[in-house]
Amino acid sequence: MLVSAQAASAVFSFAAVWLAAQLLGSSGYGRVVAVIAASQAISQLFVNWTSVSLWRYGVEEFVETGRIARAFWTRTWILLPNLSIVIVLSPFWLPLLSSLLNLPPQAHRLVLGHFIATAIWIHVQQGLHGAKLMLTQGFLLAVERLLVLIVAAALLVAGSASFLTVALAYIVAPLGASLIGLWLLGRLILPVAGVDRARLRLMLTFSLPTLPASLVGYLSTNYLDALFITHYLSARDLGIYAVGYQISGMALQLPLLAGSVLLPLFVTLQLEGQSERASRFIQNGLPILTLGWGVGCGVLAAIGGYLLPFVFGDQFQVLGGLLWPLMAAAALAGPQLMGYLPLSSSRSATYVAMFGAIAAAFVNVLLNYLFIPRFGLVGCAWATAAAHGASLMVVFGWVHWRVLARPTWTLQAVLPIVIGSIYASIEAVSWQALGFVLLLSAALMLLHLRSAMTGFKMLKNVLLGKTQMGWVESVLFYRAQ
């Protein structure tokens, strides 16, 4: 069911992007992306830095009491002052950010509206995670994407589509999903609670290392890429790049889903004194999961590289060349999302994410500056891949040095997709690049056969629900309360 909800979300998201691109063209859609980029810049820098604390301590409270009221409302009382300060100061930061992204003055309210809607929606999603309602959260993500598609389709029928009205769809959708999520969380968070001072100290202490990570983390996102692209290239190029990045982002929902299930599982195992099982997963399960994820990214890059230019039209012909480095970036992000970051967060080692974000930010800014003027959008895509690679190297090093001092072949497992993507960019031969990915992956499987077989057995047991608290049980645990 989780995978089905995620698949539905990807389908609706792709359909909405396609419809918006057809209605507005690459330039018009690029302006919509610029509105979202401006909003996300402020959200990530100043508001979302405490969001994961609701997930972390919500799970702990839910395991102990079957509710998440203390964690939910404590984080709410952190969120509201942050929101208020940013809104009050918007006359100062909004014109500057809009000018950097070449947005017209009439788009200012859209940026502010999207910022508020996104902040609320992320808060609700983290509450659902805290209550181990991953299936519900996946369903609501699909609802959000469907709402965007419905509004865009209504604009098409009414003949009133513009970049302003399409951008409005991306505000209405998260607000609608948030209302549904709050209603579903009702009995777990009501009545409204005041500030729990002990919980407040815990959540702020947990979140403080993520504040600099949020500040520098923005520098490694596609939202910073938008600033470079609009400066060196054009809104049309931003629209094209955004479509390719959207495909990569939709693929990343799978490792994000895995991570969203693993964090509560790791927290539960730690509370039950079974942390060794999480360590075994990182040692044997994560490498084979990473290798399989890399093969999947290679298949998507090869197929999408041929199909996307036909689906989106002549303005998007360069998508084929962009997809390989963007899928390599998704493959490099996979092991972090599927293992290292959930494990470090479950043990309150949030500094791991901070150092990874610093490395990614430095590489992304430097390579965007060097690559985009020379190589255009492909250079931007490779800067993104290199940033994810730098983050993985740092996170891998910190986890295996400070948190889990055990050998693993996870870094080797990302090499096939990286080598295949480099070959595809140099030779422009997508299917041969996929062949390299498959051959190198098979060779790695043989080289680490014993660990791979152990990892396969572990993943099989988890998926079939043969562990005391596997992924499926994590979802169903709520129903047993």
- pLDDT for position 146: 94
Amino acid at 258: A
pLDDT over 70 for what percent of the chain? 88
Average pLDDT over every residue of 472-477: 36
Angle at 226 between CA 298 and CA 425, to 5 degrees: 30
Average pLDDT over every residue of 149-159: 91
**Under DSSP, is residue 272 helix (H, G, I), strand (E, B) or coil?**
coil
The more confidently predicted of residues 275 and 154 is: 154
Average pLDDT over every residue of 120-129: 94
- Confidence band (pLDDT; 50, 70, 90) for 129? confident
pLDDT at residue 133 is higher than 90: no
Q: What is the DSSP letter of 336?
A: I
Q: What is the DSSP letter of 104?
A: -
pLDDT at residue 468 is higher than 50: no
C-alpha–C-alpha distance, residues 413 and 295, integer Å = 10
Average pLDDT over every residue of 247-257: 83
User: Which of 23-32, 293-302, 415-424 shows the lowest mean pLDDT across its residues?
Assistant: 23-32
pLDDT at residue 427 is higher than 90: no
- pLDDT for position 271: 66
Q: What is the DSSP letter of 256?
A: H
Contact assessment for residue 423 and residue 429, using Cβ atoms and an 8 Å cutoff: yes
Q: For tokens 């995670």, name the residue.
A: 129
pLDDT digits 0-9 by tens, 310-354? 888 877 888 888 999 999 999 999 999 888 888 877 776 667 777
Average pLDDT over every residue of 200-204: 89
pLDDT mean across residues, the chain: 85
User: Which of 231-235, 282-286, 356-360, 456-460 shows the lowest mean pLDDT across its residues?
Assistant: 456-460
The residue among 277, 280, 276, 283 whose CA lies nearest residue 408 is 283
C-alpha–C-alpha distance, residues 389 and 411, integer Å = 10
For 197, other C-beta atoms within 10 Å of its C-beta total 9
Q: What is the DSSP letter of 469?
A: T
- Confidence band (pLDDT; 50, 70, 90) for 37? confident
Q: Give 326's contacts (C-beta < 8 A, 6+ positions apart).
A: 244, 245, 247, 248, 301, 381, 384, 385
C-alpha–C-alpha distance, residues 237 and 377, integer Å = 7
- pLDDT for position 399: 82
DSSP assignment of 80-98: HHHHHHHHHTHHHHHHHHH
The angle that helices 222-232 and 351-375 make with each other, rounded to 10 degrees, is: 20
- Confidence band (pLDDT; 50, 70, 90) for 479? very low
Contact assessment for residue 430 and residue 298, using Cβ atoms and an 8 Å cutoff: no
The more confidently predicted of residues 119 and 315 is: 119
- Confidence band (pLDDT; 50, 70, 90) for 419? very high
User: Residue 431 to residues 53, 152, 305, 326, 428: CA-CA distances in angstroms?
Assistant: 43, 35, 10, 16, 9
- pLDDT for position 345: 72
- Confidence band (pLDDT; 50, 70, 90) for 178? very high
The structure's pTM equals: 0.74
For 143, other C-beta atoms within 10 Å of its C-beta total 18
Most confident of the following: 128-132, 136-140, 179-183, 254-258? 179-183
The residue among 264, 343, 353, 259 whose CA lies nearest residue 49 is 353
pLDDT at residue 236 is higher than 80: yes
- pLDDT for position 384: 93
DSSP assignment of 313-333: -GGGTTHHHHHHHHHHHHHHH
The more confidently predicted of residues 179 and 450 is: 179
| Polymer length of the chain | 481
C-alpha–C-alpha distance, residues 391 and 363, integer Å = 9
Specify whether the backbone of 161 is left (phi greater than 0), alpha (psi in -120 to 50) or beta: beta
**Under DSSP, is residue 159 helix (H, G, I), strand (E, B) or coil?**
coil
pLDDT at residue 68 is higher than 80: yes
User: Which of 216-230, 299-313, 375-389 shows the lowest mean pLDDT across its residues?
Assistant: 216-230
C-alpha–C-alpha distance, residues 114 and 170, integer Å = 7
- pLDDT for position 102: 86
pLDDT at residue 100 is higher than 50: yes
Contact assessment for residue 74 and residue 199, using Cβ atoms and an 8 Å cutoff: yes
